[in-house]
Structure 1
Amino acid sequence: MLKSISSSSSDDHLLSLIVSSTGKLHLRQIHAVLLRTSLIRNSDVFHHFFSRLALSLIPRDINYSCRVFSQRLNPTLSHCNTMIRAFSLSQTPCEGFRLFRALRRNISFPANPLSSSFALKCCIKSGDLLGGLQIHGKIFSDGFLSDSLLMTTLMDLYSTCENSTDACKVFDEIPQRDTVSWNVLISCYLRNKRTRDVLVLFDKMKNDVDRCVKPDNVTCLLALQACANLGALDFGKQVHDFIDENGLSGALNLSNTLVSMYSRCGSMDKAYEVFNRMRERNVVSWTAMISGLAMNGFGKEAIEAFNEMLKFGISPEEQTLTGLLSACSHSGLVDEGMMFFDRMRSGEFKIKPNLHHYGCIVDLLGRARLLDKAYSLIKSMEMKPDSTIWRTLLGACRVHGNVELGERVIAHLIEFKAEEAGDYVLLLNTYSSVGKWEKVTELRSLMKKKRIQTNPGCSAIELQGTVHEFIVDDVSHPRKEEIYKMLAEINQQLKIAGYVAEITSELHNLDSEEEKGYALRYHSEKLAIAFGILVTPPETTIRVTKNLRTCVDCHNFAKFVSDVYDRVVIVRDRSRFHHFKGGSCSCNDFW
């Protein structure tokens, strides 16, 4: 190869060799010849060589690129842009922003939108909002506000830095929005938990609001993620229909996301239908199916799917094994869960257990009342347990009323400086379940002193593509009077059927059981279920999504509703799905 470079007088031949170079060794050989023949001084040759080195070499060598760039006596604007772009792809993006600032101080270089775009990408990579604001100011003063591509990159910066307000302002200023602009805005809403707005934007794109945009596979992926987060099954079906109607169904990532969406909306029949129709399946496909079965309480089916995957010669990933162990935990399959965990530790799957895997086993043992064994496992871990594992055990202490161990777990969380409002709520639940009201009072005083505020429970139900949200004692819904009247009627019917409020779920030391029962009457999921019964025909499945773990009383309430009203009620709480049918729950009261 060296001979061909040295003897060739054709620049085209030289450039083709640079472009076709396949690795660092080839580029080093070319670099040596360029230095020896002084062709490195040729601006065009240098540009092609430097671009190949800085942007196309895998793995990238940013230090080598910096050395080559620094040896260029008079780099052009194009060379500087290439270097800034290389920094934006590296682990040192801050250096790219510094180079951009140096470039702007050099009055011999004109303002350039590409420079600003690559510098913004450096700020996105490093999360540097202040640097991004400076670049925004330069974009304004340079008169580049009409550059749609640059403005889209600016939107991405604000989105990454969780500043959805400014991202929306930039979006409104873009003169000609394309699908990428819309996708960045949707991604921004999703990242900033404005999930319902994602569905609104998808509808606007689908209706061709700008006449030149149409949802693509990225738009559909983001919309499906939003539907999964909200539990918006009906809207998810609309996105699925759009995918089929527009020839996008062959994309593997979309099929995988559809399996995940249907699973997280509690519709395992639809998830399996999509999975069964897939022409190609990878480990992500199997992981989505196994995890979906796990969260919906189909533990044995998840194990069967895992074994089937192994038969196809597909090796599990860390997330696959997390889903498998979670399936064992949610279904109370203690022996099976410990067996798979032991197989992991033996090296069979060539994956060492991580914190998530240990967390699943702690959850498994905790649900099975083996709290001391779970505590011993945590203490014997090779790695340092994180706050999530301690919270998992704390949740088990709450369920089983183990006050002594719960207090020890809280001490560990305080030691970690990781205690959150939810930790204290779990301990409050534990104290109240065994009637230790003096401890409840002490803990509430401590929370007030530390200014710890709890997140209110919030339940959502979707109706014809619209998501309705409720909090405890909610009076904001336009049909509140009808909802409360319906809930009163439901409570009366359930009482006749034998339902009695589980007063241990009430954390306040009220004077009588009647007062405690009244306080429990208007929890958010009860309001959502009452609304569902009010507005849907008989036998319609009611699907509710809740941001917290469902309490014992609301769990009992949903069981009675499913029996008395002959409804399937599906509740997704913070940790799993509960499928209520005929007075029973898929979790077998094991959650």
Structure 2
Amino acid sequence: MALARLHHSIRHHLLPRKLFIHLPLLLFHSSPQPHDESRLISLINSSCKAQLLPIHAHLLRTSLLSHLPSISSAFLSRSTRFHDLAYSLLVFDQIPKPTTFHCNALLKAYSESSTPQKALPFFRRMQELGLRGNPFSSSFVLKSCVRISSLSGGKQVHARILRDGFYSDSLLLTALMSLYASCGDGEDARQIFDEMPRRDTVAWNVLISCYTRNRRTKDALHLFDEMRDENDGSEPDGITCLLLLQACANLGALDFGERIHEFAEARGYLDALNVRNSLISMYSKCGCVEKAYRVFCETPNKNVVSWSAMISGLAMNGFGRDAIAAFEEMLKVGVSPDEQTFTGVLSACSHSGLIDEGLTYFDMMRSEYRLIPNVCHYGCVVDLMGRAGLLDQAYRLIVREMGVEPDATLWRTLLGACRIHRHVALGERVIGHLIELKAQQAGDYVLLLNIYASVGDWEKVADVRRLMKDRGIQTTPGCSSIELNGEVHEFVVDDDSHPRKAEIYQKLDEICKQLKIAGYVANMDSELHNLELEGKESALSYHSEKLAIAFGILVSPPGRTIRIAKNLRICIDCHTFAKVISSVYNRLVIVRDRSRFHHFKEGRCSCNDYW
């Protein structure tokens, strides 16, 4: 009804007369000369929203909207700039013979609007009007499909691209790759990439991004060498470096990350602050804080992202006091912290057990900097309280004092604290909240199993196992990776897939004998089955991180640092194992688990057994 009234107002000039005052007289010529037509288009292109209505009224009264495609195209394009697509659609409906250009104006507007889902139905309407469209039409619809993660819609557009013969358009194929990449379909993205007649750096970057987002990190790294070996004229650029540094950070691939560092430096990409910030993050996430700090110190004009990356890097590597010192220095030099900075400093306090400092910074964030804590900040405080044994206070903070709704991650943080302190009753209550959110995962039940096992309640352990089996809940297998000469080797528990498996198991058995002589005793708290002592020890022997460490000792020279990345939290027994290894074999062993780094040296860990 509102549109109908607007249409009536436009038709009959029922608009405030003051809107006409500043419009040139040329509007009132019903048949403009070419130079007048050009001036009218210029006027349309420079008009504000309020001026569109009187112009629209004149174009309807003089039939210029119907008979001059150049004028109608200019007016429709201008109308879409003000984000009132219902009005733009009304204008489109008043054009008796719309062209592809008219349709593209609306498709582009939909792709950038808050209603991108309307692009695909309009694209079908365009085809019903007998308009074939062009590569721009398809690219706008693909952009809309990407924004709403519509794989089925993207496949429809893909079919049209094939049918209309646009498969030689590299830009369009790159956009199509982005659709498949955003929907997690790496195989189809790679197939389109392989079929492209010409590949440019953008296409390579899209594929690297696709692999990185879909956790095909090793494949993303391999593309760097593949890209440099190709003779298609493409060359890694600053964006390539950013994407690959992110991949190296995810996988803990330090050697490869150093290669990207050298490449970026040789090509002059280190002039970009975002590349330097990514280097700080990469080195930190590979457990190489010294190199992260070196890049940080050499970075001119550090911004809040630079400081936050360094503070977070120190925090995750167990250097809580240093992270706090960096935060205080940041304030001294006049850089204002943001939400990410406070996440880093609160995390530092949590990992180091600095409860008073953590609560002080949490109060500073709210009172002094007027920042509203998000669920991540509350998660750090809950973790801080939980690790310190203040479980009831942490629970009260969640249910009574938070300004945001608690999510599943927050409840899992508290559940982890219940495991540490063997608080069975609260652990069961937390599981209840997760069930209410319908967000329980296999890892939640594993934490509950840990709580029951820690107090020897094997009957409830068995009950939870039956529940998991009945519901088809499967745990995520532990996976540890280690990099050797730029190649990443991955291991799972009891792994027999590695080509050197016989040597690895032989080396691990040899290591275990040496560690027992040094006093190592397996920690049975890590085993969730009610087995005899010998059975528990056997079950613990071949965890993925132990296999990765054994491989590292097998293939690297004495004294070389061993760096391991694990997808789950390191278990108590493997933590003890790594501490003794670092002493007996005189190695620095760095393990990055799901939440932090452990630097094992001379029989001690940087976390001080507080993790």
**The two structures share one fold, judged by TM-score above 0.5:** yes
Q: Which residue number corresponds to residue 4 of structure 2? A: none
User: Contact (CA 8 Å) 2:139, 2:172: kept in 1 or not?
Assistant: yes
Residue identity in the other structure for 1:141: R
Is 1:93 the counterpart of 2:116 in the alignment? yes
1:384, distance to aligned residue in structure 2 (A): 2.5
Partner of 1:457: 478
* Partner Cα distance (1:90, 1:490) in 2: 61
SS of residue in 2 equivalent to 1:249: helix
Q: How does 1:87-166 map to 2 (within 5 A)?
A: 87-107=110-130, 109-166=131-188
Q: What code does the residue aligned with 1:264 have?
A: K
Gaps of 5+ in 2: 1-19, 28-34
In structure 2, what is the Cα distance between the partners aligned to 1:481 and 1:185? Answer: 36
* 2:491 equivalent to 1:470: yes
Corresponding position: 1:504 with 2:530? no
Amino acid corresponding to residue 85 of structure 1 in structure 2: K
In 2, Cα distance between the equivalents of 1:297 and 1:61?
A: 52
Farther off after superposition, 326-335 or 304-313: 304-313
Q: Which residue of 2 aligns with 1:484?
A: 505
1:375 aligns with 2:395: yes
Match of 2:461 in 1: 440
Question: Residue in 1 aligned with 2:580?
Answer: 560
- Give the C-alpha shift of residue 422 in structure 1: 0.2
Aligned-residue offset at 1:140: 1.6
**Secondary structure of the structure 1 residue equivalent to 2:268:** coil
Q: Distance in 1 between matches of 2:53 and 2:226?
A: 52
Alpha-carbon contact 2:416-2:447 (below 8 Å) kept: yes
Question: 2:3 corresponds to which residue?
Answer: none
Contact 2:324 2:345 in 1 (8 A): yes
Counterpart contact for 1:322–1:356, Cα < 8 Å: yes
Match of 1:243 in 2: 264
In structure 2, the CA distance between the partners of 1:379 and 1:206, relative to structure 1 (3 Å rule), is same
Q: Cα RMSD between the aligned structures?
A: 2.3
- C-alpha distance in structure 1 between counterparts of 2:75 and 2:271, whole Å: 38
Letter in 2 for 1:546: K
The aligned amino acid for 1:272 is: Y
Q: Which has the larger radius of gyration?
A: 2
The Cα shift of 1:13 comes to 5.4
Residue aligning to 1:194 = 216
Equivalent position SS for 1:571: strand
- Aligned runs of 1:60-459 on 2, under 5 Å? 60-107=83-130, 109-207=131-229, 209-346=230-367, 348-380=368-400, 381-459=402-480
- The answer (yes or no) to whether the contact 2:26–2:36 under 8 Å persists in 1 is no
In the aligned structure 1, how far is the partner of 2:186 from the partner of 2:279? 27
Identity %: 61
- Specify the SS of the correspondent of 1:461: strand
Looking at structure 2, the residues matched to 451 and 73 of structure 1 have their Cα atoms a distance apart, in angstroms, of 59
Task: Render the CA deviation track for 1:126-176: whole Å, top value 9, x for unaligned.
Answer: 222222221111122212222222222111111111111221222222111
Q: Distance in 2 between matches of 1:490 and 1:305?
A: 40
Kindly indicate whether the alpha-carbon contact (under 8 Å) linking 1:2 and 1:33 is maintained by their aligned counterparts in 2.
no
Contact kept? 2:280, 2:292, Cα under 8 Å: yes
Tell me the distance in 2 between the aligned counterparts of 1:372 and 1:393.
10
Secondary structure of residue in 2 paired with 1:545: strand
Q: Distance in 2 between matches of 1:322 and 1:495?
A: 41
Counterpart for residue 544 of structure 1? 564
Q: Counterpart amino acid of 2:200?
A: D
The equivalent of 2:9 in structure 1 is none
Indicate yes or no: 2:602 matched with 1:582. yes
Runs (4 or more) in structure 1 with deviation over 6 Å come to 26-39
CA contact (8 A) 2:59 2:65 kept: yes
**How many equivalent residue pairs?**
583
Conservation of the 8 A alpha-carbon contact between 1:505 and 1:552: yes
1:390-439 alpha-carbon deviations (Å, 9 max, x no partner):
11011111112222221121122122221110011111111212222122
Tell me whether 1:54 sits opposite 2:77 in the alignment.
no
Q: Secondary structure at the match of 2:406?
A: coil
The aligned amino acid for 1:577 is: F
One-letter amino acid of the counterpart of residue 155, structure 1 = M
Match of 1:526?
546
Range 151-160 or range 545-554, more displaced: 151-160
Question: 2:14 maps to which residue?
Answer: none
* Structure 1 residues 15 and 239: alpha-carbon distance in aligned structure 2, compared to 1, 3 A threshold: farther
Shift of 1:5: 4.5
Alignment TM-score, normalising by the size of structure 2: 0.90
Cα displacement (A) at 1:444: 0.9
Contact 1:407–1:427 under 8 Å retained in 2: yes
Report if the CA contact (8 A) 2:277-2:306 is conserved.
yes
